[in-house]
Amino acid sequence: MQARIPKSAALAALIALLAPALVQAYDHDMDQTPVSAALSPLPKNPLPDLSSTLKIAKPAKLAEEDAFHEKDVWGRIRSGYAIPDVNNDLVAKHVNWYATRPDYIARTTARASLYLFHVVSELEKRGMPTELALLPFIESAFNPNALSSANAAGMWQFVPGTGRDFNLKQDAFKDERRGILASTDAALTYLQRLYDMFGDWQLALAAYNWGEGSVQKAIKRNQAAGKPTDFESLADLMPAETRNYVPKLQAVKNIVANPQQFGLNLPVIDNSPYFTAVDKTSDIDLTVAAHLAELSVDEFKALNPQFKRPVIVGGEDTKILLPKENAEKYHVNLAQWSKELSTWTTHKITSARESIRSLASRFHTSPEVIRQANNIPQNSVLKAGSTILVPKLSAAVGTNIGEDVADKATVEVESERATTSKSGYKLAKAGKPSKSAPVSLVKARVSRDAAGKKHRKAN
């Protein structure tokens, strides 16, 4: 009778002959390999994908390469969804609102096309859910110049106090709450901090809108009542805007996931950087920078909305953003530029008697130019201590505005309530500070005062 070979030995011999690469990849003796693993179907490729087989995370470099395999940025966003879905009547309501407004979707996604690649890339670097890139959709409709009645500004809608908390400069020359690079970095840092605080992305989003203190109080209230503390369980304690906040984001997520289902089309956004940063260490007029880059002023401002004055003050940290092809044109044209890059300097008001008319005469310009350059409303006068922009005189050509001057510069005005004295002179009486009333582009954020905490984000 022929001797029978043990099954385990036969299986080991078969695998050793047919799959040496598999044996080496697992890097342990066949004696220790479970029979069930040995019987698994052999892959067609002799070198299996061990990252999925052994649950090994891919290195960051490989993850980045995978991101570039997507056809467009929308694909990258879809593939990185990680926040649990919400499915309720509010989501359905907001999906219907967006789906019945294709023109609004078209305008918003057209603006988003300039910024989304950068935002998604920053989220992926931090390992954050990519649907957070859609948050500006409901915050500002991707308008970096958006300003709410609560004075929340920029694509990510930072109020002044929270902006300062996250090192966003706000001075007479620039407001980094509007800057694409600075505000995105601050917003993602803030969102990650909120997630670390609550351990839940839906609650983090609620806190971004309502304030972390308010969310903490709501959680404690439900805990005391023996109730759950997830977003939907806390919704009844939230103001209407916050209660709708996560459902709005979910609605946009649903549309981006499958726009055709809702009768919508999203523009293709190339999966490559739209802009590049150019260092600027010397002052340059905004119009000159746009001219050298061969862009219209509006196109230039769309990427550089943080600059509030007609001159960009140069410094070690100053950067301007330009489309990649225009950055090349900028460098070529700059090398051939023979005129002054900046035609502005600063002047400090030392006396209330220093009128805008007298300043215009002194600096060989018109009162209207002074007013426009410094956003000074009509029927108002400058207060002593203000630092304003004035045209350079020949003696000042070649000098830059110091960073210390730019950081400390303020423009303060008061209403001109003129009365005529017996001597015939007009007297300016102090009134309430007058500021140009900005157009409200987005719905006001929840009042930080109402939330009851000094450094709380409000919508």
The stretch 175-200 carries a mean pLDDT of 98
pLDDT at site 380: 87
DSSP letter at 243 equals H
Q: What is the C-alpha separation between 207 and 162, in angstroms, rounded? A: 13
Domains in the chain (CATH in brackets) are 7-55 (no CATH), 61-262 (1.10.530.10), 275-335 (3.10.350), 345-429 (3.10.350)
Average pLDDT (371-390) is: 93
> Do 262 and 107 form a contact (C-beta atoms < 8 A)?
no
Catalytic residue selected from 64, 122, 124, 139: 139
What element of type H or E holds 232? helix 231-234
Residue 408 has pLDDT above 80, yes or no: yes
Q: What average pLDDT does range 300-324 have in this prediction?
A: 96
Q: At residue 19, does pLDDT exceed 50?
A: no
- Please check the confidence at residue 433 and state whether its pLDDT lies above 70: no
**Rg (alpha carbons) of the chain, rounded to whole number:** 30
**Does residue 330 surpass a pLDDT of 50?**
yes
- Model confidence at 379, pLDDT cuts 50, 70, 90, reads confident
**What is the structure's pLDDT at 397?**
62
Tokens of 384: 């002593």
Q: Where are the beta strands (DSSP E) in 254-358?
A: 275-279, 284-285, 311-312, 319-323, 344-348
- Average pLDDT on 146-153 reads 96
Q: Which residue, among 216, 160, 158, has the nearest Cα to 190 in the 3D structure?
A: 158
Quickly state the pLDDT bin for 340 (edges 50, 70, 90). Answer: very high
Residues 121-132: pLDDT tens digits?
Answer: 999 999 999 999
Output the average pLDDT for the chain.
82
pLDDT band for position 399 (cuts 50, 70, 90)? confident
Could you confirm whether 139 is annotated as catalytic? yes
Over 70: is that where the pLDDT of 115 sits?
yes
| Choice among 69-78, 291-300, 314-323, 422-431 with the minimum mean pLDDT | 422-431
Coil/strand/helix, residue 144: coil
The first and second tokens of residue 372, run together, are 């426009």
Confidence of residue 188 (pLDDT cuts 50, 70, 90): very high
What is the tens place of the pLDDT at every residue in 93-108? 999 999 999 999 999 9
Give pLDDT, residue 336: 97
